[in-house]
Amino acid sequence: MALRAPALVGEFSEPIEQKLHLLETKQPLDFESVADAIGRIRDPERLRERLGHAIRYSQRVEAEVGDLGIETLLPQATDDYVGRFLTTWMPDELGHAQAQDQLLRALELPVYESRRIDHVPIHNRIAGTLGTLSSHAYEIVSMIYHSVGAINERLAMGAYRQMTTIMMELGEDELADVLMNPMRRDEAAHLGYYRTYARQLRPRLWGWQLAIARGVIVHTYAPVGAGKDADKAPMGRALDAMEMDPHDPAFAAAVEEIADELLADSRRRLPPFVQRSLQHCVDLARGESA
């Protein structure tokens, strides 16, 4: 017999409904305006030099969502709020990839093409199988998925904000306004859903469930798109291009605050696992260029 996803009902569902409503009714990316702005780039060479690594990394990450197999990780997702979220989230991410694909081609930079593979990562398959066997396991997987999603969306927001700043410094205000700002607003809407769902799921977990979710994330976390060793240095190059220093207290605190809120226990804060993972990517990138 198939297990149902943990239901968030009654007063617990209202905040999630609000987040989903905002997500489902927001304005989509205006591809015509993006194309016009790309055609009016003032200095492609300077833009390529300053943000080429960051745009390439971002475009790849956005394009890879079709290969993640979320429906395998959370097999009951079509029956709850997750299914509604994915219906909007995936087109958003693929739309971001499409727009940045156009930008990369205009800058004469390589473009990532989604592999559209027929299999999903083995860890997603294992987690999905466990979730079909046990409701407790499904809740743990769901907590991990939503917590990591919130952390990664906060990183994406910071990245697009910083790319906006650099574009405006280069005089590419129109491109920043019609591409970077809307993508950042999309990521903010995604963050609102992830954070709210995880915040409301947490009190429903037993202590041992939360401890497992916390341990898995702290010991295995990698920035979105940098789970494989080969992808860590490109992430580091993107961070350097955006002038985002993992040791910057303000940068680190914005992400660690979310991790602590969702995962920490009452006795102590979490170790700075996000900062360490980001710094490892930067160290690898700088080692390659040394």
Q: What is the pLDDT, as a whole number, of residue 4?
A: 47
Entry pTM:
0.89
Q: How many domains does the chain have?
A: 1
| Neighbour tally for 205: CB within 10 Å | 18
Cβ pair 199, 6 in contact under 8 A? no
User: Per residue, what are the HEC states of 120-167?
Assistant: CCHHHHHHHHHHHHCHHHHHHHHHHHHHHHHHHHHHHHHHHHHHHHHH
- Does some domain include residue 4? no
- Does some domain include residue 184? yes
- Rounded to whole angstroms, the Cα distance separating 201 from 185 reads 24
- What mean pLDDT is reported for the chain? 87
- Does some domain include residue 202? yes
- Does some domain include residue 20? no
Mean pLDDT for the stretch of residues 258-269: 90
Sign, Cα dihedral of 120, 264, 4, 154: negative
DSSP code per residue over 184-241: HHHHHHHHHHHHHHHHHHGGGS-HHHHHHHHHHHHHH---TT--SGGGHHHHHHHHHH
Residues constituting the chain:
290
- Does some domain include residue 24? no
Q: What is the pLDDT of residues 5-59, one digit of tens each?
A: 555 544 456 789 999 999 999 999 999 999 999 999 999 999 999 999 999 999 9
Q: Which of 221, 245, 82 is closest to 158 using CA atoms?
A: 245
Q: What is the pLDDT, as a whole number, of residue 9?
A: 46
Give the angle 119-125-131 at the CA atoms, nearest 5°.
Answer: 150
- Rounded to whole angstroms, the Cα distance separating 233 from 126 reads 28
- Does some domain include residue 25? no
Q: Which of 80-84, 168-172, 174-178 has the lowest mean pLDDT?
A: 80-84
CATH at residue 68: 1.10.620
Q: pLDDT over 70 for what percent of the chain?
A: 83
Which domain does 137 fall in, by range? Answer: 30-289
- Does some domain include residue 107? yes
- Rounded to whole angstroms, the Cα distance separating 180 from 164 reads 6
Burial of 272 (0-12, 13-18, 19+ CB in 10 A): middle
Tokens 């660690």 locate to: 256
What are 45's two structure tokens?
């060479």
Residue 233 has pLDDT above 90, yes or no: yes
Q: What is the pLDDT, as a whole number, of residue 11?
A: 46
- Does some domain include residue 5? no
